Structures are given as structure tokens and as C-alpha cells.
Structure 1
Amino acid sequence: MLRLLDADGGVTSTQLAAAPAFSKPAAPLESRVAYAAAHVVPRVTGNNVPGAPADVDWDATLAFRHHVWSWGLGVADAMDTAQRNMGLDWTACAELIRRSAAEAASVGGALVVGVNTDHVDSAAISVDEVIDAYVAQLEVAEDAGAGVVLMASRHLARAASGPGDYERVYRAVLSRAGGPVVLHWLGTAFDASLAGYWGSVDVATASDTVLRIIQENPAKVAGIKMSLLDASAEIALRSRLPEGVRMFTGDDFNFVGLIDSGSDALLGAFAAFAPNASAAIQALDAGDRAGFERILGPTEALARQVFAAPTQYYKTGVAFLSWLNGHQSAFQMVGGLHSGRDLRHLSEIVRLANEAGALERPELAASRWHAMLAVNGL
């Protein structure tokens, strides 16, 4: 049996589901391009407290990436899920990029990494300085041999006076890129400081701006990851993208329908249940749309819990599931972020993961969760 907490904090129980009967793909996934945005695992005895430099357990962190690759998914690294701007400093981030790129090359795994401006200490810099900061990180990523996701920059959101500044920055940075990159539109649910990105708080107007950027740089844009938690906005922009430019859904609330209808995927949620994501895309590859929905459908409720407001703390749920599933020895995060969710929230994650077949080793998960309850006097 699996012990859980009810809404009032009382202890209830439910049947522990069997391990999911998923198989790793025998060939590359074909019907969708899918990346799991991976988290980092801290060194258990490290000084991973708020404000301290990240002390990363590199063996466990890289082993998790091999877990994702083994299921046929790509890894999106050094992005929000890896705690960019929430515990992962640039020194650790640059090392993560280099290490992940080397591991990807060793197994032929697909890898893209986040490029941002967050190594700059000053909160306010000029538009020209934003360009220089982007290029500095771009060079680190490309020197490592990694693909690039050009992440939304807090510095640019502060410095830009309108759409023209965004167009100027992206034109300049894309001109320096050695190959096509993925753009990233991150909504305010994830980062309130990015309000008005692309020069407008109106999504339709902002979409026009990002579309102009893509159309002006067709050889340098492979796609765009859209993380607004707004399915209609994603579908609208997807329908206007030039041929060959992919829409990577970053909508962790509505990904089942969006992937089914044609979006590719770059999702933090897929790091939480990579086997389910792989099995669902394998079903699509086999022409089994019903199987895709049967496998992936139940995970959407789990993802909605993991990404519940305040959404920026979703990383806690990803790391929690990693621990339950045996991919790290302790439920810890850099910056002490494992304290970002309460026990009732985590209990609901356990319940939904059990129902969705997202507990890879159910007995281990139950044992670890029950021990956590016991430590807390429950």
C-alpha cells in the first residue's frame, strides 16, 4: 500500500501500482523531436544553501542525462529546469554545458543547451552589452559542440524600449551563431521579470515581432520553444512559422494535445517521466494515436501538479520524482530549493505519479516516500 496525505494533512492509503511495462526504443524516435529539460543533482554533503555557489554531483547529474538518452529523447540542458537564475551560477552552468556535451558526443545523444546573459552581475546593462553577453555564452556552448537554445534574457527585458531593440539584439546574436538555434519565449508564470518580452504584453503583437525575427533569419532559426501555458497562442504562432522551423511546446499544462496536433517538445515535464514520453512517441511512430493518448494523457495531471503556481518552483517536483525513481540518493537541490514545496503538494505528486505509471520502481518510491513521512512525524 501507498500512504498519502489528504487535503487536511491526514494520512490515507491507496494501492501501489505496478511498474509500467515500457520498452526503450530500438530505433530513433521519428514522429516528433522531443527534448527533456534536465535538472542538476547536488552533492549531498555540499554547501548547497541559498546564495552559495552550486556544488554539483557530476556523476549523478550526468547519469540522469544518460537515462534520458537511453529512452531516445534529447536533453535540453542548462535551462530553467537546471535552476538557471535559481541556484545554478554561471561557473557551474558552463561546466555543465561542457560535461553534458562531452557525454552526448560519447553516446550520440541529442543535446541543446541554454545560452543567456546571466553571467553579468549588473542588473541593468545596455542593449549593446546584452548582445555581447549573449555572444560570450554562445561561444562557450558552440566551443563545447552543443546545440543552442537562445533563452529569454532578463537583462534584455529591462534594457529594451520596444520591439525594435529585440529585433536588433536577436539579429546581431543570430549573425554570430555557427548554426541554427532554438529561440525561447518564457512566460511570466515562470519568470515575472520577463513581462512584455518581444516588446509587448499583448501576445499577438509579441508574436508578430518574434515571427519577423524568424523570417529575417531563416538559416539561423531551427525552431522556437514556447512556454506561455497558453495552447491557443502556441497553435496560432505555429501555424505561421516558415517551413522547416519547428514549434517546440514548452507548455507543461497542455502538451498532450499540442504534441498530438503537431508540436515537437522541449519540456521540463519530460524529465520527470522520460519513459512515459518515449513510449508515447513510440506509439505515434507506430501509428497508434490512441496508444499515445493512453500513455501520455495521465501524465498531464501529474505535470499540472508539478508546475502548479508558483510555477517557478516546478524544479522541486522534478527533483523529487528523480529521487523517488532512484536517479539520485537524496532529495536535495542546489540553493536549498528542495524546500520549495510542502508535504501535501509532494504527496499529490506521489498519488498522480502512481496513477500515471510514472513510478519506475514503485517499491523503491514507496519506501523513500514513507521514510520521508516518518522523518516528518507522519
Structure 2
Amino acid sequence: MLTLPTADGRLESYTLSGTPLVPRAPKVALTRTAFAAAHVVSDPLAERDPWTGRPAVDWEATLAFRHGLWDQGLGLAEAMDTAQRGMGVDWDTARELIERTMVDAKAHPLAPRVACGAGTDHVDPSELTSAEAIIAAYEHQAEVIEAAGGQLILMATRALPAIGADKTIYRQVYRRLIDGAAEPVVLHWLGDMFDPALTGYWGCANVAEASDFVLELIAENPAQVDGIKISLLDQAHEEAFRARLPEGVRLYTGDDFNYAALIEGNGEQYSHALLGIFAAIAPAASQALEALALGETDRYHALLSPTVPLSREIFRAPTRFYKAGIAFLSWLNGSQSHFIMPGGFQASRDITHYAEVFRLADTAGLLAAPELAENRMKALLSLHGI
């Protein structure tokens, strides 16, 4: 039994009651493409300057976590915001992460799909003052990813809003990147709830105008666009946008609040997945997608519905701190020996949040080793005087 804090400042007893899901590979081919965006595991013994230097990475644990996702039939979105790009993880680390991951992915028996984030974060923002400079920065990272064998995700860059780019500049940048890629790319529309520096992305005054612009951009060369990841936490917008996409272009939901309904679809269209939460709920996600492929919608909902409250807690405002919840569950489940993150990011959430994540993960059957999880939760509580 545990004593857990509540949001209103009380302490209450809690007894674990969930039945852990057992990770396994799907028994049939999935009908949805599913990328789990994974985090980076720190090496606290090697870390010397956590707030300013290049982070120390536990490569063995970081790659083992990815193997666990692949073993369950999930693809991987690598070196994205879940891996703390721009929030503790620099491009040099991301590059090494991509190259190491692609070596392992090519050797994995399930031949998993891996898509990797290309951005502009290796260049000082003071130098990214023109479309050509931004294009050159993107192309540098794209070349690294393509050379490693990864699919390109064109991550939203802070550089374009920073220079007040209008639609003409966005079109110039994205036209060059999309048309010049070796293989079809995944576009990335990340809302300002995930990163306030992306406010006004696409050079548009509102979401409706931005949607029209992005759809025009895709329609100019749809063969070069595998899909678009949308993370706006707005189910109605995603469904309307999805219905307007050219045939063959996927909508990858990044909606960590409404993914269950969006992936199931409305009978006419459905979303695929590129989600940070899938790294935390991998057994439920994999087995729910298997159920969907088998037409077992009741089992799909039974597996995935309990994960939605958990995801909403992990991704609650300020949403950009969600990475802490992903790493926290990784620690509880034994995928890493500590709860330390690049840049000390574990301090971005409070103990009542972690207590609620613990409760909801238990309810969803996502505490793989309950005794270990309980002991680790007790250790964290003791650090907070509980």
C-alpha cells in the first residue's frame, strides 16, 4: 500500500489493482501505421553539466527501449520533441541517436519503420534570418538522416516564426524541402501548446487559414508527401482536415487527447499515429491496433480507452512538459535504472502529477512489474517528504 498526494493537497492510501498487460508482437498485420515517439535515457553517472552542455546518454538503455517498441510491432519516430529536441538534447546528440538507431533498426527481424526529425537546431538562431539559411540548415540534417536510411520528418522550426515569415517564405522553404527529398516526407504541424515558440506557424493568422495553406502545399506535389502529423489537440479540426487530404496522403495523429477515436475513424476516414504517448502505453497501443485489424472494436476500446485519461494527465498544460511523464513510466517499468532526464527535465512536473500518472497507469494495466513500480514510487515520494 502507498500513501499518495492528491491535487488538493491531501494524502490518501492507494493499493495497486491493475492487471499488467504482457508486451508481445501483433498476431496479424496492423491496418494503421503507428509511430511511437521515444525519449532519451540519461546517463547520470557521466553527466557533468546538465543545464548547459551536451547531455550524457545511456545508449544501451536508450536503444533497448526502442527494441521494446519494435518487438511489439510499432514503428519509431526518432529524435523528435519527445526526445527533448531543443529542450535538453542538441543536434549532435540527436545525430548520434539517429545513426545508432538506424543501425539497430536495419538488424531487427521485424524491419521496423523509422522516421527521423530534421530541423534547424544545429545553427544559432541569429544566423537563421533568411529562407535560404533555413533551407540550408534543414538540408544539412536531412542529408544525415537519408544517409543513415531514415525517413524524413520535417519538424516545425522555431526559426520561421522568429523572423515573422509569411506564407510566401513558408512555401519557398517547404517547396524546396519536399521536392528535394529522396523519399516522401512527413510534415509536422506542432501547436503552440507543445512549443510556444511555434505560435503563428505557416505564416497564417488562424488555424483555418493555415489549414488551407498546408493543404495547398501538399496538393502541389502529393507524391512527395507520405503524410502530415498534426498535434493541435482538436479532434474536429483533424477530422475535417483529414477529409480534405489528397488520396494516398496519410494523417498521422499527434493528438494525445483524442487518439483513440481518431485512429478508429468515422467509417469513412481514419488517422494513423505518430504519438509520444504510444511510447508510454506500447502494450495497450499494439494490442489495441491488433484488435482493430481483426475487427474487434470492443476489445480495441477496452484496451485503449483506459489509456486516454493517463495520456491527458501526462499531456496536460503546460503540455510541453509531457516528456517527464514518458520518462517517469519508463523508470517505473524498469526500462531505466533512474528518473533523471537531460537538462534536469524531471523537475518540470510536481509530485501530485506523478502520483496521478502512477494511479492511471495502474488502472490501464501499464505498470509492467507492480512491485518494482511501487518500490520506485515510494522512493520518489520519500524525496518529497511523503
Into which bin does the TM-score normalised by the smaller protein fall?
Answer: over 0.9
Question: C-alpha offsets along residues 228-251 of structure 1, whole Å, 9 cap, x if unaligned?
Answer: 111111111100011110000000
Distance in 1, matches of 2:19 and 2:51, equals 36
1:175 corresponds to 2:179: yes
Which secondary structure does the structure 2 equivalent of 1:219 belong to? helix
Q: CA deviation at 1:298?
A: 1.0
Alignment of 1:54-133 (within 5 A): 54-107=55-108, 108-123=111-126, 124-133=128-137
1:352 corresponds to 2:353: no
Query: Out of 265, 274, 287, which is 2:282 matched to?
Result: 274
Question: C-alpha offsets along residues 189-233 of structure 1, whole Å, 9 cap, x if unaligned?
Answer: 011111111111311110111111111121210000000111111
Q: Counterpart of 2:153?
A: 149
Question: C-alpha offsets along residues 230-282 of structure 1, whole Å, 9 cap, x if unaligned?
Answer: 11111111000111100000000111111111100000011111111001101
Which secondary structure does the structure 2 equivalent of 1:16 belong to? coil
User: For residue 317 of structure 1, what is the amino acid of its counterpart?
Assistant: G
Q: CA deviation at 1:26?
A: 4.4
Unaligned stretches of 5+ in structure 1? Answer: none
Q: CA deviation at 1:23?
A: 5.1
Alignment of 1:135-146 (within 5 A): 135-146=139-150
C-alpha change, 1:26 and 1:207, in structure 2 (3 Å) is closer
Distance in 1, matches of 2:49 and 2:118, equals 23
Query: Out of 208, 226, 229, which is 2:212 matched to?
Result: 208
Q: CA deviation at 1:9?
A: 3.5
Which secondary structure does the structure 2 equivalent of 1:350 belong to? helix
C-alpha change, 1:160 and 1:169, in structure 2 (3 Å) is farther
Q: Counterpart of 2:370?
A: 362
Q: Counterpart of 1:193?
A: 197
Distance in 2, matches of 1:170 and 1:160, equals 16
Alignment of 1:153-302 (within 5 A): 153-261=157-265, 262-302=270-310
Q: Counterpart of 1:341?
A: 349
User: For residue 12 of structure 2, what is the amino acid of its counterpart?
Assistant: T
Which secondary structure does the structure 1 equivalent of 2:168 belong to? helix
CA contact (8 A) 1:127 1:160 kept: no
Distance in 2, matches of 1:218 and 1:21, equals 39
C-alpha change, 1:63 and 1:48, in structure 2 (3 Å) is farther
Q: CA deviation at 1:173?
A: 1.0
Question: C-alpha offsets along residues 133-152 of structure 1, whole Å, 9 cap, x if unaligned?
Answer: 11000000000001111111
Which secondary structure does the structure 2 equivalent of 1:97 belong to? helix
1:30 corresponds to 2:33: no
Which 10-residue stretch deviates more, 243-252 or 365-374? 365-374
The TM-score with structure 1 as length reference comes to 0.97
1:5 corresponds to 2:5: yes
CA contact (8 A) 2:253 2:271 kept: yes
Distance in 2, matches of 1:76 and 1:29, equals 19
Which secondary structure does the structure 2 equivalent of 1:24 belong to? coil
Question: C-alpha offsets along residues 11-40 of structure 1, whole Å, 9 cap, x if unaligned?
Answer: 312221244244513446422111110000
User: For residue 10 of structure 1, what is the amino acid of its counterpart?
Assistant: R
Q: CA deviation at 1:2?
A: 3.7
C-alpha change, 1:42 and 1:31, in structure 2 (3 Å) is same
Q: Counterpart of 2:323?
A: 315
Q: CA deviation at 1:375?
A: 2.9
Distance in 2, matches of 1:105 and 1:3, equals 45
Which secondary structure does the structure 2 equivalent of 1:328 belong to? coil
CA contact (8 A) 1:4 1:12 kept: yes
Aligned length: 378
1:326 corresponds to 2:329: no
Q: CA deviation at 1:323?
A: 0.3
Unaligned stretches of 5+ in structure 2? Answer: none
Q: Counterpart of 1:15?
A: 15
Percent sequence identity is: 49
CA contact (8 A) 1:81 1:268 kept: yes
Q: CA deviation at 1:86?
A: 0.1
The TM-score with structure 2 as length reference comes to 0.95
Distance in 1, matches of 2:26 and 2:308, equals 26
User: For residue 109 of structure 1, what is the amino acid of its counterpart?
Assistant: P
Which 10-residue stretch deviates more, 133-142 or 201-210? 201-210
Q: CA deviation at 1:161?
A: 3.3
Distance in 2, matches of 1:302 and 1:27, equals 26
Which secondary structure does the structure 2 equivalent of 1:242 belong to? coil
Distance in 1, matches of 2:299 and 2:4, equals 29
Distance in 1, matches of 2:220 and 2:306, equals 40
C-alpha change, 1:335 and 1:48, in structure 2 (3 Å) is farther
CA contact (8 A) 1:5 1:344 kept: yes
Which 10-residue stretch deviates more, 197-206 or 313-322? 197-206
Which secondary structure does the structure 2 equivalent of 1:13 belong to? strand
Distance in 2, matches of 1:100 and 1:160, equals 35
Query: Out of 285, 289, 314, which is 1:306 matched to?
Result: 314
